């Protein structure tokens, strides 16, 4: 189908974009990579009054590191994030996740900030940002506000960002070199919408799990921390007994939704399978102690 | 709401073009309907099938997920332009030799996507080739013949048989 009628403005400066957002609020829509917005327009699932194109705000397209914080500009394309030596070295979880983010042509255009701001429940990057304890920097004519990832994701496509605020940057602490991470996902085709998936970050000593952070996506309405399971895994050997225990706790932590990608029951099962895979993978990555 | 239009200046297959477009028109409708470049196909129109793949500023993108007005000032290459340069003549010949197409609907998008892989000029495994075209649907071949054609092209280019 064809998009409905709308007005279009190419943003030439951050100030101009923030002024337009302030003026139009919910009737304006930010056009970044457009890889989620354009399909909804073509299918007439959304009907904004104005599209505000931010693709020419080059100040939002950078990846840098300062005082052990990696700053990813909102307009950084997925393929740029995937190629970034800073991300590869300091945020291996995100480097592992990028190949799962759609397909090459979509990664060339889609943006890191767009994915995090939209908070699609099947998206990989919101889960990674939550697992790594990231902070979202949003700006409006009222000023700059920092929102920690724990407070940002509220529900299905529902976030703490107000309609007049633009996500400009995501700040993520570097991964501790002694920490381990793993990213696993199931989808029909590689790059398609996730049926189920999780991001794991933890510390391991001599194959004993010391700490574990687990964030689930695809099955839940928003990226979800599995707090009961994380508690069970703390200071625990990874053995058959633990594997059995987390089957129980995951049932308490997760509340999967049924959608085109599968039933709630199947998704809960798959998340249990993936949890085992993720922890097995992370433990394999432990460097032998000297 | 009335139809909003905008004048754009862009390069398409090396030619400088100035046109007035409806701001809601996506890039592939512009290429097909305004410029008559019908090599880029429209399948799903929501970014799933890959038939509309074109290059913008040297990178393969979904032509249905970008507005024509966004290409203002940009450099667009379609299958017509890429064919003319001869850059993928070997790949195209191998597609024919290996029967890597039947109806041909997906082929332009497939070739635009694969050209980006071939530019890396390194040996890719069959798995990597499949991964690279994971966003391009083909409903005729079952993909094996396409992967064969790409593998042959890469090996020939590297002088590795």
Chain B residues touching A5 at Cβ < 8 A: 1-4, 24
Q: What does the block give as tokens for B127?
A: 């798995």
Give the pLDDT mean for B65-93: 98
Nearest to A8 among B4, B47, B135 (CB): B4
Q: What per-residue confidence (pLDDT) applies to A207?
A: 84
Residue A206: the pLDDT is 87
Which of B33, B49, B78 corresponds to the end of one domain? B78
Distance from CA of A78 to the nearest CA of B (A): 13
Instruction: State the average pLDDT over residues B64-91.
Output: 98
The enclosing H or E element of A179 equals strand A179-187
pLDDT at residue A288, as a whole number: 64
A96 pLDDT above the threshold of 60: yes
The ipTM, to two decimals, is 0.96
- Number of domains present in the structure of chain B: 2
Asked if residue B154 has pLDDT above 70, the reply is yes
How far does the CA of residue A58 sit from the closest CA of chain B (Å)?
15
pLDDT tens digits for A162-220? Answer: 999 999 999 999 999 999 999 999 998 888 889 999 999 999 998 899 999 999 999 99
Residue A237 has pLDDT above 70, yes or no: yes
* Whole-number Å distance between alpha carbons of A129 and A114: 13
DSSP at B114 = H
Q: How far apart are CA A197 and CA A218, in angstroms?
A: 6
Please report the pLDDT score of residue B73 as a whole number. 98
At how many degrees (to 10) do helices A264-284 and A240-253 cross? 140
Closest C-alpha to A133, from A211, A22, A80: A211
> A35 in contact with B at a CB cutoff of 8 Å?
yes
Judged by CB atoms closer than 8 Å, whether chains meet at A38 and B64 is answered as yes
Q: Are residues B113 and B144 in the same domain?
A: yes
pLDDT surpassing 60 at residue A289: no
State the pLDDT at residue B161.
Answer: 58
Residue A290 has pLDDT above 60, yes or no: no
* Token pair recorded at residue A32: 């970044």
* Yes or no, beta carbons of A190 and B131 under 8 Å apart: yes
CA A103 to CA B51: how far, in whole Å?
13
The pLDDT tens digits for B115-153 are 999 998 788 899 999 999 999 999 999 999 999 999 999
Of the residues B36, B53, B78, the one at which a domain ends: B78
Q: What is the mean pLDDT of residues A1-10?
A: 96
CATH number at B136 reads: 1.10.150.120
In this structure, are B73 and B90 located in the same domain? Answer: no
Q: Are residues B50 and B108 in the same domain?
A: no
**CB of A45 within 8 Å of any CB in chain B?**
no
Question: What does the mean pLDDT of chain A come to?
Answer: 96
What's the average model confidence in pLDDT over A98-126?
97
The answer on pLDDT for B31 being more than 60 is yes
Q: Are residues B121 and B152 in the same domain?
A: yes
Q: Mutation target for B interface from A50, A105, A185: give the one with most B CBs within 10 A.
A: A105
Whether B20 and B37 map to the same domain: the answer is yes
- Domain final position from B30, B57, B78: B78
Residues 96-125 of A with CB under 8 A from B: 99, 102-106, 108-109
Q: B73 with B94, same domain?
A: no
Q: Over 80: is that where the pLDDT of B96 sits?
A: yes
Task: State which residues form the domain around B140.
Answer: 86-157
Query: Which of B67, B78, B116 is best to mutate for the A interface (most A CBs within 10 A)?
Result: B67
> Among A5, A38, A102, whose Cβ lies nearest the Cβ of B1?
A5
Better-scored residue on pLDDT, A125 or B124:
A125
User: By the 8 A CB rule, do A162 and A21 touch?
Assistant: no
CA B19/CA A271 separation, integer angstroms: 51
Segment A37-74, tens digit of pLDDT = 999 999 999 999 999 999 999 999 999 999 999 999 99
A-chain residues within 8 Å CB-CB of B126? none
Q: In this prediction, what percent of chain B has a pLDDT beyond 90?
A: 94
* pLDDT at res. B1: 74
Q: Are residues B9 and B72 in the same domain?
A: yes
Q: Which of B59, B64, B131 sits opposite A42 (nearest CB)?
A: B64
> B61 to chain A nearest CA, in Å?
4
Mean pLDDT score, A110-129: 98
Condensed to tens digits (0 to 9), the pLDDT of residues A250-280 reads 999 999 999 999 999 999 999 999 999 999 9
Pick the residue of A104, A106, A185 with the most B CBs within 10 A to test the interface with B by mutation.
Answer: A104
**Domains assigned to chain A:** 7-53 (3.30.43.10), 58-173 (3.30.465.10), 179-284 (3.30.390.50)
CA dihedral angle for residue A64, residue A68, residue A74, residue A75, rounded to 10 degrees: 20
Q: How far is B44 from chain A (nearest CA, A)?
A: 9
How far B39 CA sits from the closest chain A CA (Å)? 18
């Amino acid at each position: 189908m064809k998009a409905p009628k709308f007005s279009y403005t190419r943003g030439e400066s951050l100030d101009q974009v923030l002024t337009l957002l302030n003026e139009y609020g919910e009737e304006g829509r930010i056009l970044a990579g457009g890889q989620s917005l354009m399909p909804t327009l073509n299918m007439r699932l959304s009907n904004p009054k104005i599209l505000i194109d931010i693709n020419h705000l080059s100040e939002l397209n950078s990846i840098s590191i300062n005082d052990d914080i990696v700053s990813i500009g909102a307009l950084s394309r997925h393929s740029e994030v995937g190629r970034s030596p800073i991300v590869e070295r300091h945020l291996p979880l995100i480097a592992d996740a990028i190949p799962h983010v759609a397909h090459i042509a979509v990664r060339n255009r889609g943006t890191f900030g767009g994915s995090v701001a939209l908070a699609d429940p099947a998206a990989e990057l919101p889960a990674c940002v939550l697992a790594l304890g990231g902070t979202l920097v949003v700006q409006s004519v009222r000023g700059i506000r920092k929102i920690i990832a724990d407070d940002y994701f509220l529900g299905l496509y529902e976030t703490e960002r107000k309609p007049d605020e633009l996500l400009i940057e995501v700040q993520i602490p570097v991964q501790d070199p002694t920490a381990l991470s793993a990213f696993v996902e199931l989808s029909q085709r590689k790059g398609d919408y996730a049926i189920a998936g999780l991001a794991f970050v933890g510390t391991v000593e001599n194959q004993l799990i010391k700490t574990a952070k687990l964030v689930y996506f695809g099955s839940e309405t928003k990226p979800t921390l599995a707090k009961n399971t994380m508690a069970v895994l703390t200071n625990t050997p990874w053995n058959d007994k633990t594997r059995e225990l987390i089957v129980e706790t995951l049932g308490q932590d997760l509340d999967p939704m049924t959608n085109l990608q599968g039933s709630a029951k199947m998704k809960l099962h798959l998340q249990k399978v993936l949890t085992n895979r993720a922890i097995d993978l992370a433990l394999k990555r432990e460097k032998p102690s000297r | 709401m009335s139809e909003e239009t905008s004048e754009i200046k862009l390069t398409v297959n090396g030619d400088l073009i100035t046109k007035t477009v409806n701001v809601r028109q996506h890039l592939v409708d512009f290429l097909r309907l305004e410029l008559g470049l019908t090599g880029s196909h429209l399948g799903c129109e929501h970014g799933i099938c890959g038939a509309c793949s074109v290059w913008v500023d040297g990178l393969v993108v979904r032509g249905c997920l970008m507005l024509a007005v966004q290409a203002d000032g940009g450099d667009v290459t379609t299958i017509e332009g890429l064919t003319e340069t001869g850059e993928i003549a070997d790949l195209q010949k191998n597609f024919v030799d290996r029967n890597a197409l039947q109806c041909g609907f997906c082929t332009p998008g497939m070739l635009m996507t694969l050209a980006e892989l071939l530019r890396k000029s390194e040996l890719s495994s069959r798995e990597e080739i499949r991964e690279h075209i994971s966003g391009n649907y083909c409903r005729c071949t079952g993909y094996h013949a396409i992967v064969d054609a790409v593998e042959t092209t890469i090996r020939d280019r590297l002088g590795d048989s």
